[in-house]
Amino acid sequence: MSKLDNRGVATLVGLLLLVALVLLVLSIMQATVVPSETRVSEAAHNDVIQTEMVTFGDTVERTAGGGERVASLTLSPTYEHRPFLLTPPPAGGVLSTDSGTVRISNANISEPFSNKALFRTQNPTLETNRVVFEPNYHEYDSGASVMYEHGIVGAQFPTGTRHRAGSLIDGETIRLTTVSGSFSRAARSTAVTTHSKSETRQSVTVRSDPEAPLQIQLPTALPVETWETALDGENANVSSHNESHIQVTFDPGTYDLQLAGVGLDEPSDQEPAYLAAMTDEVVEPGERMTVEARDEHDNPVPGVRLNVSGSEGCEFGSIQTDEDGQATLRCETPGLLTVSIFTDERPPTNYETVPFVVSDQRGDLPFVSARFESTTQTISTVDETEDGDIDSERDRQRLRVNYTAFSDSELLLAALTVEDDSGVVTADTQDLSGTTEHGQWISPWLDPDNYEVTVRIRDETGAQQQMRLTEGSVAESLTADAGPDQTVDVDETVRFDGGRLDGRYRLIRVGLRRRHHRQWSGGRPQLRDTGDLHCRVDRDR
């Protein structure tokens, strides 16, 4: 029997030991080096995405000025491939949007565009989105979530939040850009196209008063401390409004408010929100009357269809705003002209309408034009009964009256009365100033009914003018010409020239300045005082 040959055993054992050593080394590297280098790659990527989000924020703000741009974002780190070692799969971070509502309060409009103030008062909110990157790293536990909101880029680390770039305020300028468009993406990289939805073309001057300071409430995922850093040194302070909003309160002063809208990936149509008068609303025949259609960001909207209605000689029908969002009209005959945004299935609101008064004579009595509309709403009420309080719901109605008044003398007071068939339901007064006033009055909640509203204007001379109107109608006071020489002597007989007056109108009053009034039904009145003549005409009923 022969002996076994053991000469190759040592070589095999050595080879096995070498393989085992290599596997041990690879295992150690897989367990230590790969996680370490993965952590380094992910930390580097987190720095990159923070920088890219700052660039993205700059892209949004530049797009607010018009045009279209593309921002690229790297959502996953790149891992180095090593032979014989397992490379982690891509750590696909998520880029998504989160919606919220901005509210602007106490924006006292310094510019003489009454519809702007009216629109902002009734529509104080704007919808917007924040854009958030959420990391999904394998090893790096200290990575920051990065977000863009309201011009601010913040990085939210597990240990705290850091302000990276941007501000809402620059001295006396407030820049607020809203973002529309929603998505959620998990990929190695992505590109976001930004479209100008409402291009910043102008600013609106607003005033922050000590007793009613300008305030903007912003939806945010950033803590108050981050906002305090972002607004450090500006004329505002930051406080927590609720769990999801902060409140920025501005110091007393005047600010330029610049609003803009940017859409993400999908272009958005610019819609008109209100109509602003760019010229005086009381003009002479042939004088230019210009309106501007504006969106909810106060920026002009081109190509908006407008309806124009007026008294005889001032009919226009339908017109369209030009590339600057404006439309200009002229009327050669005195009367009332109303311009409104075309609304298909509903009447235009008060801030979608601009009334113009075309007049070549103001006389001595105040002039007033007015209209009103109502809103009906179901309201919960608590009714007291013998058996206790009972919660109930019922329809209630609120009236909104808009009026324009002017006088040669200083205006003092507007008195408004609401009546139904049984008499006066409610009444109120408003103080006036200057010689031209555009006012608005909102009634308390009333029982639904067909109401009639009386608007009475008084100036500092004691002269009064009033107008009665029903819902949806536009009423105006008119004047008659007493001739080129309106000065008379005591006991002088005066004849009035009715001018343009026809069978639809009748003279109902003639009198003198200095509060002397006399009823007149026709003929030649004898005036027993000296002064400037004036008269008022009213529509025959």
pLDDT at position 372, please?
75
DSSP 320-331: E--TTSEEEE--
pLDDT at position 540, please?
34
pLDDT at position 218, please?
96
Q: Provide the 8-state DSSP code for 57.
A: H
pLDDT at position 267, please?
79
Question: How far apart, in whole angstroms, are the C-alpha atoms of residue 173 and residue 356?
Answer: 32
Query: pLDDT in tens for each of the 541 residues of the chain?
Result: 455 566 667 787 788 888 888 777 777 776 777 777 888 888 999 999 999 999 999 999 999 999 999 999 999 988 877 776 677 777 778 999 999 999 998 888 755 446 887 788 788 899 999 999 999 998 888 899 999 999 999 999 999 999 999 889 999 999 999 999 999 998 889 999 999 999 988 888 888 988 889 999 999 999 999 999 999 989 999 998 888 999 999 999 999 999 999 999 887 788 999 999 898 877 888 889 999 999 999 999 999 999 998 777 776 788 999 999 999 998 888 877 889 999 887 888 878 988 887 876 555 567 777 777 777 777 665 555 555 555 567 788 888 888 888 877 788 778 888 888 877 788 888 888 888 887 888 888 888 888 888 888 877 766 677 777 777 665 555 544 454 555 555 555 555 443 333 333 333 344 443 333 333 333 333 333 334 444 444 333 2
pLDDT at position 438, please?
79
Bridge partners for 282 per DSSP:
357
- Token pair of 195 as six digits: 């479209």
pLDDT at position 477, please?
57
Dihedral, CA of residue 348, residue 350, residue 351 and residue 356, to nearest 10: 100
Looking at the chain, how many residues does it have? 541
Contact assessment for residue 185 and residue 173, using Cβ atoms and an 8 Å cutoff: no
Q: What is the mean pLDDT of the chain?
A: 79
pLDDT at position 113, please?
46
pLDDT at position 392, please?
64
pLDDT at position 397, please?
85
Question: How far apart, in whole angstroms, are the C-alpha atoms of residue 453 and residue 372?
Answer: 8
Q: Do domains 271-360 and 362-476 have the same CATH topology?
A: yes
pLDDT at position 315, please?
67
Bridge partners for 259 per DSSP:
176
pLDDT at position 12, please?
79
Phi, psi of 88 (to 5 degrees): -60, 150
Q: CA-CA distances (angstroms) from residue 484 to 478, 488, 512, 518, 522?
A: 18, 12, 16, 21, 20
Domain ranges of the chain: 41-77+89-264, 271-360, 362-476, 478-541
Q: Give the CA angle between residues 385, 390, 391 to the nearest 5°.
A: 145
Contact assessment for residue 293 and residue 306, using Cβ atoms and an 8 Å cutoff: yes
pLDDT at position 489, please?
54
Q: Provide the 8-state DSSP code for 113.
A: -
- Provide the residue type at 65 as one letter: G
* Rounded-to-5 percentages of helix, strand, coil across the chain: 15, 45, 40
Task: Name every residue whose Cβ is closer than 8 Å to that of residue 276 and which is 6 or more positions away in sequence.
Answer: 113, 115, 116, 291, 292, 293, 294, 354
CATH topology of domain 362-476: Immunoglobulin-like (2.60.40)
pLDDT at position 388, please?
54
Provide the CATH number for the domain formed by 271-360 in this structure: 2.60.40.1930
pLDDT at position 282, please?
76
Q: What are the pLDDT digits (tens) for 347-384?
A: 888 789 888 878 765 555 677 777 777 777 776 655 55
